[in-house]
Structure 1
Amino acid sequence: MDGPGVADETTDDMAARPVRVLLVDDDPMVCSGLRMILGRGSGGRIEVVAAVHDGDEAVGAVQRHHPDVVLMDVRMPRMDGITATARVRALPSPPEVIVLTTFDSDDEPFRAAEAGANGFLLKTESPEDLVGHVRAVAAGEGAVSKRTARQFMAQWRQEGTGPARDARRVLARLTPREREVADRVAQGLSNSEIADQLYVSASTVKAQLAMIQDKLGVTNRVMIAVLVTQGGPRG
């Protein structure tokens, strides 16, 4: 892809220019609000390059505008955000996708993660948190906010014993230190916050997350959080 996609640039390149964001939401008022929050609230570090109003417009908009990050609504009339996320992530050198939701469906986080989303946030996130998460995802870190993590826990506690048992079996593959990292991902901590708590470098946390994903057979931070919350607290 000829545009300025995340996969084509170094960290220095990303720091030198605003993060390019595409909005996909069927509510024009939501798009206007997000545009204001991300533009003004980031001090010019984020640029909303376009907004489209249904999932079936997302791929074409990505190809035209080459965003670094797509903010994707879940519920849209013609094509839902989960399907649109999968199509966007199937593109060559795709942008990262953050799924935004009101979280009224308990399977949305897992479906979003399976579709390739690297962030799952509530629409009620504070402006400061939303800006921070967009920048984190653009830098390759992923985003599961603390508020989303609490919602994960509330939803998955309602599940039966089967999913919890399966999740615990998969999580048993992790070393004690890897499990500490995974638990903190599920709490919504960033790489730097995890590093501070465990007295290691952020690069060490990043390497451990790559190993955790490999052992768990998942592809992103959201799925780590889902598995940890499904498995419940360690005994």
Structure 2
Amino acid sequence: MTAVLLVDDQELVRAGLRMLCRSAPDLSVAGEAATGAAAVRLARETRPDVVLMDLHLPGMDGIEATRRILAADPGARVVVLTTFDDDDHLYPALEAGASGFLAKGCPPPRLLAAIRQAAGGESPFSPDVLRRLVARAVTTRPAAAADLTPRERELVHLVGTGLTNEQIAQATHLAVTTVKSYLANAMARTGARNRVQLAVYAVRHGLA
């Protein structure tokens, strides 16, 4: 069971997210917060698997709340769910440690899938956001290539094209657990902290 902490200052939005999460048999609501300070406190008390974080909150905003939650629990997964998906909101959220970034207008099935992906160690982003991340990193942050095995290079290439672990497993006829193991090794070799950075690496080094 994946426990989800809902953070949004609008009660109506939280009610909708609560109903959506409770409609899924594998998800539960760990708590709800209307402010950044409450989100930090509840995250410390409930230790949720995934935090759905709005950015515009009274008092402490979602960026600072994300930073504090992850400082206390580096293993937490924070997925930003916001009305605005522009760069002025995207990059500060990622710098704070957010694992994913979605617009509030995304379809309910996509949001449920994103929660599951985040809980499984993946980084749910819309394709448009991922392309912007990659484009910025390619033009501004050169890096040395790592010594990847042929299989790791193959899987990193598929990450760079935007495939999930399940899709990569189907494409390569590997078990999902095997895919995760290869990608964990690739992240260790490349210094990538998450799938987005691994996708950036793939593009910067001609693997995607």
Partner SS for 2:177: helix
Is the aligned partner of 1:191 residue 2:169?
no
Counterpart mapping for 1:21-32 below 5 A: 21-32=4-15
> Quick check: 1:142 aligned with 2:125?
no
Other structure's SS at 1:144 match? coil
Aligned twin of 1:218: 192
Of 54, 59, 69, which aligns to 1:88?
A: 69
Q: Which has the higher contact order (CA 8 A, sep 6+)?
A: 1
Q: CA deviation at 1:180?
A: 3.7
Of residues 182-191 and 21-30 in structure 1, the stretch that sits farther from structure 2 once superposed is 182-191
Match of 1:30, as an amino acid?
Answer: V
Structure 2 distance, partners of 1:233, 1:150, is 20
Mapping for residues 1-235 of structure 1, pairs under 5 Å: 18-40=1-23, 42=24, 44-92=25-73, 94-106=75-87, 108-138=89-119, 140-145=120-125, 148-154=126-132, 157=135, 159=136, 163-165=137-139, 167=141, 169-170=143-144, 172-173=145-146, 175=148, 177-228=151-202, 231=204
SS of 1:219's partner is coil
The letter for the 2-side match of 1:144 is P
Kept in 2: contact 1:143–1:222 (CA 8 A): yes
Map Cα deviations across residues 180-213 of structure 1 (whole Å, 9 max, x no partner): 4334334442211111112222122112221222
Counterpart AA for 1:98: V
Q: Which residue of 2 aligns with 1:5?
A: none
Q: Secondary structure at the match of 1:90?
A: helix
1:124 & 1:189 partners in 2: Cα distance? 22
Contact 1:213 1:220 survives alignment (8 Å): yes
State how many pairs are aligned: 207
What is the percent sequence identity of the aligned residues? 37
Q: Give me the whole-angstrom Cα distance separating, in 2, the residues matched to 1:204 and 1:156.
A: 26
Structure-2 change in CA distance of 1:218 and 1:77 (3 Å): farther
* C-alpha distance in structure 2 between counterparts of 1:107 and 1:227, whole Å: 23
Which amino acid in the other structure matches residue 198 of structure 2?
I
**TM-score, normalised relative to structure 1:** 0.73
Q: Describe the superposition over 1:83-130 as per-residue Cα deviations: whole angstroms up to 9, x where unpaired.
A: 211211122475322122345332644543443333332322221121
Contact 1:174 1:212 in 2 (8 A): no
Which consecutive residues of structure 2, in runs of 5 or more, have no partner in the other structure? none
Aligned alpha-carbon RMSD (Å):
2.9
Unaligned stretches of 5+ residues in structure 1: 1-17
TM-score, with length taken from structure 2: 0.81
